[in-house]
Amino acid sequence: MTDLKTDEIRARVHEILAEQAMIDPASVTDESTPQELGIDSMGLVEAIFAIEEGFDITVPFNANAPEQSDFDISTVGAIVHAVERLVAAQK
């Protein structure tokens, strides 16, 4: 994957989460939580898979114990930052 900028990562994460929630990407903000977007636990797992595929990364996320993960899913912004770190670690 080429050198992605923060804005590109943010836009793609917003698109993935919006697609999962079946809403307009413009409705997604960094302050939104997955729950506020209408994404349930199954939807979140699917979104994580889409993020892994979209960025060619492996997300350290255990759906059975999300609170024990290093991948913060509390807000969209936290997800963006976690993806940025994983993408940067690939280099």
Count CB-CB contacts under 10 A for residue 21.
20
For residues 61 and 51, the answer to whether their CB atoms sit within 8 Å is no
DSSP letter for 27, please: G
Give the pLDDT confidence of 17-44 residue by residue, as tens digits. Answer: 999 999 999 999 999 999 999 999 899 9
**Tokens encoding 19:** 């697609």
Q: How far apart are CA 67 and CA 65, in angstroms?
A: 5
For residues 57 and 87, the answer to whether their CB atoms sit within 8 Å is yes
Total-model pTM? 0.88
Q: Taking the mean position of all CA atoms in its chain, how far away is CA 56?
A: 13
Q: What is the CATH number of domain 6-89?
A: 1.10.1200.10
What does the domain layout of the chain look like in residue ranges?
6-89
- Residue 45 pLDDT > 50, yes or no? yes
